[in-house]
Amino acid sequence: MVFLPLTLVLVTLVLAWYFIGKYNENYWKKRGVAFYTKNKVVGPMWDFMTSQKALFEIFGKLYKEYRKEPAIGIGQFLTPSLFVIDPKNVQQVLSGDFQSFNHRGIESVEGDTLSDNITFMNGPRWKLMRSNMTPLFTANKLKNMYYIMDKSAQDFVQYLKNNSKLQRSDLFETLMMFCNAAVCGAIFGIGSESVFDTPFLKLAKNLSQSNILVRMKFIFYTLSPKIYTALGFKLFKEHEEFFVKSIGEVLKRRDQENVKRHDFADIALAIQKNGTMKDRTTGYEIEPTTGILSAQALFFFTAGVEPCANAIYATLYLLSLYPEILEKVHQEIDEHFEKHSNNITYDVICDLEYTEKVLSEAMRIFPPIGFLTRQCVQNTVLPIGNIPVEKGTKIFTPIYDIHHDPELYPDPEVFDPERFSKDRRPNDDIYMPFGMGNRTCIGARYAKLQVQAGLVHVLRNFTVQPIAKNQWKKLKFAHDPLNVRLRNIGFELVPRGIK
């Protein structure tokens, strides 16, 4: 009696899988677009689930296989989806046709307070929140905020000196501590306690984990937000109580202190005191509750910890392999420390031209994230290939693969900081470690400044050298849905004896 219903269910599922796959294939075939047939229903997500490769590596394989195609169709259940390959089409999606592609391709989850942040917002809600958050990242604000980053970097160097075993152990985790401290200080104004041993560091580690549950939740969320919600998944619910309470306490304390520190807490407190946020053009309104401001704080926290640690880690790794470049960096940093009596200000950091080129090249080779997503909000056409794109179509655009394309970057695997000299600097439409266009990362300038502060103070006090057994290994990356995270390399910090 039980066998027949189970058989019917199984046959129904198999037929549904088959017809969804045929629908996806025919959808793009009718539009003259090549289609990835290996899995017609969930496309590259299937490869990600059944391998140990990062998702950007899966897309990278498609990029190489279909390099001469302007874009290819991929399976995403019943959502038309494109992996855009041609750089001009990528630029059109991310920047040129913002009216059609201003949706991130992701949305906040109902009942998940911390997911209602600027990354997951879209339309007038995103526009209004961005306009209120942007003042935090002006050049003047960053200049006023830099002293906090610099102090965090100095404290971090002293912490490394006091704990010599950290100079050789898992340096990524160690760098996470610095980035956590810098964010807690510069964004939240938290720095009176031991910044290298706080609940926020534990939170950062939890958010950066990529275990099987995290990967499955990401896949369901990407493939179908409706299925994701139906299964009762939340993105950040487990961190909500701690984080909202913490930010509430920060705002309350800042209000009582009545001291300006030019950080996120100042902006958030001002927004709350001004009352309802309102877009004068559309009339759209947002109430500045502690919950929604905590959601924005979580965005700055997640953007300022793991991606920044990735950038510093990758830069130090590359410098360990290229001692002649490392020597030039040391020379430039030493000259500026001596010239300015060890007082490294915002202006001094901005004057380190060669160090900045090194960082830019490191983020070309190892961008913090490997690809971007968008969703079409009105019917349009991609120029290369004349591809019609209907409203609701999901878009995936490569970052890592464009940065490693020999047609765009000659000898792309070579670490060459002079690519970013004034006469050779790449076009903005092919260099995008923080994204591109109006939806580029709002905190990009902050993140880069934080990374520079960490690098400069670490390299003033330490040199870096590879661990012999790991040198020149074939690189492997963490099985991560978003980040470009090196996992099989090793290098160590060696004190320089600078006083």
Q: Which residues are annotated as a binding site for heme?
A: 441
Work out whether the CA dihedral 249, 255, 261, 264 comes out positive or negative. Answer: positive
CA distance 390 to 174: 46
CA distance 120 to 103: 9
- How far from chain centre, in Å, is Cα 194? 27
Phi first, then psi, for residue 73 (nearest 5°) are -80, 145
Label each residue of the chain as H, E or C. Answer: CCHHHHHHHHHHHHHHHHHHHHHHHHHHHCCCCEECCCCCCCCHHHHHHCCCCCHHHHHHHHHHHCCCCCEEEECECECCEEEECCHHHHHHHHHHCCCCCCECCCCCCCCCHHHCCCCCCCHHHHHHHHHHHHHHHCHHHHHHHHHHHHHHHHHHHHHHHHCHHHHCCCHHHHHHHHHHHHHHHHCCCCCCCCCCCCHHHHHHHHHHCCCHHHHHHHHHHHHCHHHHHHCCCCCCHHHHHHHHHHHHHHHHHHHHHCCCCCCHHHHHHHHHHHCCEECCCCCCEECCCHHHHHHHHHHHHHHHCHHHHHHHHHHHHHHHHCHHHHHHHHHHHHHHHHHCCCCCCHHHHHCCHHHHHHHHHHHHHCCCECEEEEECCCCEEECCCCEEECCCCEEEEECHHHHCCCCCCCCCCCCCHHHHCCCCCCCCCCCCECECHHHCCCCHHHHHHHHHHHHHHHHHHEEEEECHHHCCCCCCECCCCCECCECCCCEEEEECCCC
| Residue for token pair 């001004």 | 274
Q: Which residues define the annotated binding site?
A: 441
CA distance 181 to 174: 11
Residue 400: partners with Cβ closer than 8 Å, 6 or more residues away: 56, 60, 367, 370, 371, 484
The answer to whether 491 and 456 are in contact (CB under 8 A) is no
